[in-house]
Amino acid sequence: MMVALCGCLLLLLTPSSRLIIAAAFVISPIDGGRPSPHLPPRGIRSGRRRSATEADDGDDDDDVRLPREDELFLERFRRRRDAVASAIDAERSRRPPSCDLADPRDVVASVLDGLIRPHEPAPYFGYEVLYATSTSRWREVLRKSVGASRAVEDGLIYRALGASIERPGNQFGILVRSGMEDANANRDDDDRDDASGSSSYADGRYAVEFPHDTLDYYDGSAWLECRLRDEQSDALLVVLGWSMKRREGDGAWLIDGIDWQDFRDDYRPGIGREEWERICG
């Protein structure tokens, strides 16, 4: 009845008046106090998505913000992460392989320097330098030494090399200090004081000596010898022969093989002694 009466009244009104009254029916609900289906219930926001400008407005109470201490922690973390990444990149730029290292002796010295601190500035970094400075043939030797296939990621090979070389009693542990420190730890104080030169590892450090000039074959290959001596007693510990090859493209020197002769009592005659004697007489 109410709807019919309202319809008759609308017919008697002008068009502009009809529009105003129709709007009133929408704005002011009359059906038993129930809200109009055209409007959301009071106290509930509409589902309209905010624009990008509105989302960035700092005055919106619904914006989710981290506590101040968490923001500071994240900022410190980002700065530390960036600093470490920059330090690693800087270290890589000065390490081989690099065409700036024209003398193979500089390449060998840099590789040994990286191995003596194998986890600086990042874990297994010294092994990364050794692997990156190797030819494909010598990389294959390194992979086989730890039982890794060609499909294994380089990072896992670095870890495997570290686990193997740093193992107590490993002959090549001297390159990463562990061999010298282990030998020293196995002696009591009297033995350390009375030990001969070849067995005295005073503080786990060695000095690198290049007794001869590099033998350059002028065909893209070279050979050189280096010696590891105890820093305090000057005792000869290990002699290494390095076979080097130039990398195609930039001519950077790479390691193509290493001969090893050990003069420490714990490891004589040492790996590769026969091969070494055939080369050096």
pLDDT tens digit string along 152-205?
999 999 999 999 999 988 889 999 976 444 444 444 444 444 333 333 333 457
Other C-beta atoms lying within 10 Å of the C-beta of residue 14: 8
Q: Contact at 8 Å (CB) between 159 and 118?
A: no
User: What is the chain's pLDDT, residue by residue, as a tens digit (281 residues)?
Assistant: 444 444 444 444 455 454 444 444 444 444 444 444 444 444 444 444 555 444 455 445 455 677 888 888 899 999 999 988 988 898 888 999 999 999 999 999 999 999 999 999 999 999 999 999 999 999 999 999 999 999 999 999 999 999 999 998 888 999 997 644 444 444 444 444 433 333 333 345 799 999 999 999 999 999 999 999 998 899 999 999 999 999 999 999 999 999 999 998 888 665 554 444 443 43
User: Half-sphere exposure of residue 86, counting CA atoms within 13 Å on the CB side?
Assistant: 6
pLDDT tens digit string along 96-110?
999 999 999 999 999
The rounded percent of the chain whose pLDDT value lies above 90 is 49
Domain locations in the chain as residue ranges:
94-280
DSSP string across 172-196: GGGGGTHHHHHHHHTS-HHHHHH--
Q: Contact at 8 Å (CB) between 222 and 216?
A: yes
Q: What is the reported pLDDT for 104? A: 97
Residue 251 token pair = 């001519």
Q: What is the reported pLDDT for 177? A: 79
pTM exceeds cut of 0.75: no
Q: What is the reported pLDDT for 266? A: 83
